[in-house]
Chain A
Amino acid sequence: MFPVIQTLGLTKTYGSKDAAVHALRGIDLVVEPGEFVALIGPSGSGKSTLMAILGCLDSPTSGTYALDGHEVQGLAGAELAAIRNEKIGFVFQSYNLLPKASIVRNVELPMLYAGVGGRERRERAMALLEKVGIADKAKMLPANLSGGQKQRVAIARALANNPKMLLADEPTGALDSRTGAEVLQLFRELHASGNTVLLVTHDPSIAAQAQRRVEIRDGLVATTVEGAA
């Protein structure tokens, strides 16, 4: 089996030569299937840039990135969109649900882009909402849900197309500690049932929940710590 993530010398430079900002200076990172990895680092460390590249939302300036065995650097927008759709499930700090669409439609949307038929879409969306424990809210709008519930919807949506990995960017950043802990618990359960989880955070106590912690500093991998803290 291929590693889910395998990068070699990833760099990202913003701006022109004179005022160039080197956000990433050569990241080598491997994430195997079924791992629960935390990317940790202070703000400005380059972890957001790395997460954007790993999420195929952005392209590296140089280096290679193989996602599930396929090199993705230099692919065109439409191909990247297809990869995001099939292989990556995003969970954002600010949930990023479509505000005017019902909960169930939010969860259906990735399947819509994947070309899943209407009935199957609805069934799977309902099953996922069941899984994250908010099937009873399916017809509601996101605005009627609490933060924790919204994040559960976002997780259900991220799981919609059975992605190779869940990419969570500060998923508890907007939640109080109790709901945050519940959401983290959900991630641990997903990990336990075989999902690969990559969690980006600046909070060491949250990172401590992961199997492995990779610290990013000044655009480089500073340290890697194995085992739950």
Chain B
Amino acid sequence: MLTGAFRERLRSAFTEVKENLGRSTLQALGVMLGVASVLGGFSISDSQRRRADEMFVKMGGMDKLNVQPRALAAEGQPSALQQANLGLRELDAEEGSEASKGAVKGVSVQRNARARVRSEHTEQERMVTGVAADFIPTNGYEIASGRGFSSEELRAGAPVAVLGTEVLSVFFPNGDAVGKSILVGDVPVTVIGTFKERVFFFRKQPGQRNQFRRQNRILAVPAALVARRMQGDAYRRMDRVTFRVPDLNAMEVFAKDLGAVLKANHRQQDDFRLDDVAARVRRNRSQGDVYNIIFMLSGVLSLLGGGLVNVNIQMASLKERVREVGVKMAIGASGREVFKEFMTEALVLTLLGSTVGLVLGVGFSKFITWFLGIPLYMQPGSFLWATALASMFGFVFALFPAWKASRLSPMEALRYE
């Protein structure tokens, strides 16, 4: 019975909308633009974040925690205690990987050096990356030709190297490097393999630079080789230790445990820096949240504007509709019925407006992401938010005109000129 009456009202609201197309379009315009702006804003910001996440994953995953040495004395002489510290060592990597039981699934160690590198073709000053443990998989590198380092080579500091594509093209322009020799500093090193080229364009647009071009400049040798024969010291200090913790929930506990272990190893000095990639991603995300809030705000504002315009139009058209309401009341519509009619009409307009708005929003996001050159990523939540906000505003702003209309006296409404 009730649903039947509602269906009737819905049907006549549709008829009413059709009969007054111009006015109805104006009324729905605010909802349309509001929905489009909320959905578009959310989707564009989601797409951008999604792209950033993709980049982090391609860089070797978000599940990493980097430890790097940090100078304690910003100026002047470091204290005796500070100076006595031995920096980041292999010991830190070993003890660190046992800090939270089972959390660490991989450790990578780096010891860098600058050296003159000579091949039969070229001679250049280059950065040499001394690697150890799981460096290659942890940092997202893959072997293209030849092989990677064996654990024996890493332990012993064997004079072997794996080259990134940029290094390969500079030192071996004909592409054939595996088995050849290069001179790093004054150490002759045999090339045993090459890395796959790493490519990531944040935006697919001409003129964009490869985000991973630095990664292709790698010249990897065992860290032990760097420490012993290039830029070593007695304590085998490290430039960077990376722990891989696949369980992101365990990351926080691990970071704390690791901090404690390192501090104990470093005579209670904070001469190291923990850099949690996931935390960085989270920071990026929360920046994205700010954008979402801005987009939501602009959507809400346009809905608010649209709502006010809607009330305005409704109040203006109410004057035109006073006689109509009077007639309806004379032939038997109660004030409540008139109220329901107005609200149903608002509901229909809101629904139609949101539908058009969603389509507009999708088109809008498609255009902007195409323009930015990033893939479009839309979440169901954005659709829900946009529709929910629009419905809320549609409802709230329909109340006043509907109430006003329902309170008309049939007598006065009929005589209204």
Contacts and interface: CB of A to CB of B under 8 A. Distances in A.
B332 A86 contact: yes
A81 interface: yes
Contact of B328 (A55, A100, A109): A109
Contacts of A113: 328, 331-333, 337
Contacts of A86: 332
Nearest to A121: B8
Contacts of B11: 118
Contacts of B8: 112, 118
A58 B411 CA distance: 7
A47 interface: no
Interface string B188-209: 0000000000000000000000
Nearest to B18: A100
Given A98-B327, A100-B19, A77 B332 contact: no
B411 A57 contact: yes
Contacts of B328: 98, 109, 113
25 contacts: A52-B411, A55-B330, A57-B410, A58-B411, A81-B329, A81-B334, A82-B334, A84-B332, A85-B333, A90-B330, A92-B414, A96-B326, A98-B324, A98-B327, A100-B16, A100-B20, A101-B15, A105-B15, A109-B328, A110-B331, A113-B328, A113-B332, A117-B4, A118-B8, A161-B332
Contacts of A160: 331
Nearest to A101: B19
A114 interface: yes
B81 interface: no
A110 B332 contact: yes
A157 interface: yes
Interface string A85-97: 1100010100011
Nearest to B337: A113
Given A57-B411, A100-B19, A114 B332 contact: yes
Nearest to A97: B327
B324 A112 contact: no
Contacts of A227: none
B286 interface: no
Return the 10 tightest CB-CB contacts between A and B, nearest first. Answer: A85-B332, A81-B334, A100-B19, A78-B334, A113-B332, A110-B331, A96-B327, A57-B411, A57-B410, A58-B411
Nearest to B328: A109
Contacts of A15: none
A82 B328 CA distance: 12
B331 A78 contact: no
B331 A85 contact: yes
Interface of A: 52, 55, 57-58, 77-78, 81-82, 84-86, 90, 92, 96-101, 105, 109-110, 112-115, 117-118, 157, 160-161
Contacts of B85: none
Dominant secondary structure of chain B at its interface with chain A: helix
B413 to A, nearest CB: 9
B411 A112 contact: no
Given A57-B411, A100-B20, A81 B5 contact: no
Given A101-B15, A112-B12, A77 B324 contact: no
B336 interface: yes
A179 B411 CA distance: 27
A77 B406 CA distance: 10
Contacts of A96: 323, 326-327, 330, 414
A84 B330 contact: yes
Interface in B333-376: 333-337
A92 B4 CA distance: 31
Contact of B332 (A81, A92, A101): A81
A86 B11 CA distance: 22
B308 to A, nearest CB: 25
A52 B411 CA distance: 7
Nearest to A113: B332
Contacts of A101: 15, 19
Contacts of A77: 334-335
A135 to B, nearest CB: 20
Contacts of B330: 55, 57, 84, 90, 96
A21 to B, nearest CB: 15
A52 B410 CA distance: 10
Contacts of A99: 324
Contacts of B337: 81, 113
Contacts of B411: 52, 57-58
Given A96-B323, A101-B15, A78 B332 contact: no
Nearest to B332: A85
B335 A78 contact: yes
Nearest to B413: A57
B327 A82 contact: no
A82 to B, nearest CB: 7
A147 B335 CA distance: 30
Nearest to A52: B411
